[in-house]
Amino acid sequence: MNFARLAAPVALAMTVSACGINSIPTYEEDAKARWADVQASYQRRADLIPNLVETVRGFATQEREVLTQVTQARASATQVQVTPEQLSDPQAVQQFQQAQGALGSALGRLLVTVEKYPELRSQENFLALQSQLEGTENRINVAIRDYNEAVRRYNTEVRTFPGVIGAKVIHGAKPLTPYQAVTPGADRAPTVKF
């Protein structure tokens, strides 16, 4: 008789523990945490991209200014010509020297930029931007995949025996919705324009 008294509570405990009482809330919380990861990844992209684009634009503008000055100075220097007949004209020679001086000055600024940065910084920044964008999109994909896996695990538990017992009777659990791209083009990375 003592054995029967002990067997009934043990059997009841095993039945209850096998019906998803603990696993359903655990899987549900895991799925919710994975969804938060998806949202965090999208927020990271939303925060990161404008800042990276502005950083790259700032460096590119600085270098563009130096390169534009060199190009303009070169164009001016090639426009000012002194023919052998004009060598006696101090004004013509002075204009030529000024044009060449402007080009030399612009080249000096360019050389300083190149000496500071053996590769132009904007190239580095473009590569970093490309890398960050790729990394961000990969994080989003991993977060979505992890969320969908957590949803699959939860939905399987609430729809299969014995978890369905705990899902219906105790928790009133409903299946969760996996992530799906619903907007046209949502499955593609955003286009970045400079």
User: Is residue 8 domain-resident?
Assistant: no
pTM of the model: 0.57
Distance CA 67, CA 75 (A): 12
| Residue 183 placed within a domain | no
Q: What was the pLDDT predicted at 116? A: 60
Cα-Cα-Cα-Cα dihedral sign, residues 14, 18, 19, 23: positive
Containing structural domain, residue 164: 41-171
| 63 found inside a domain | yes
Domain membership of residue 165 (yes or no) is yes
Residue 1 lies in a domain: no
Report percent pLDDT > 70 for the chain: 60
Which carries the bigger pLDDT value, residue 191 or residue 73?
A: 73
Buried b (16+ CB within 10 A) or exposed e, 73-91: beebbeebeeeeeeeeeee
Q: Is the pLDDT of residue 53 over 80?
A: no
Specify the number of domains making up the chain. Answer: 1
- Mean pLDDT for the chain overall: 74
Confidence class for position 8, pLDDT limits 50, 70, 90: low
Evaluate whether residue 191 is within a structural domain.
no
CA distance 100 to 83: 15
Query: Domain for residue 18, yes or no?
Result: no
Number of other residues whose CB lies within 10 A of the CB of residue 28: 21
Mean pLDDT of 180-185: 64
Residue 141 has pLDDT above 60, yes or no: yes
pLDDT in the model for residue 157: 93
Dist CA 74 CA 63 (whole Å): 16
152 located within any domain: yes
Per the model's pLDDT, the better-predicted residue between 191 and 91 turns out to be 91
Within 19-171, residue ranges assigned H as helices are 23-79, 90-116, 121-159, 163-165
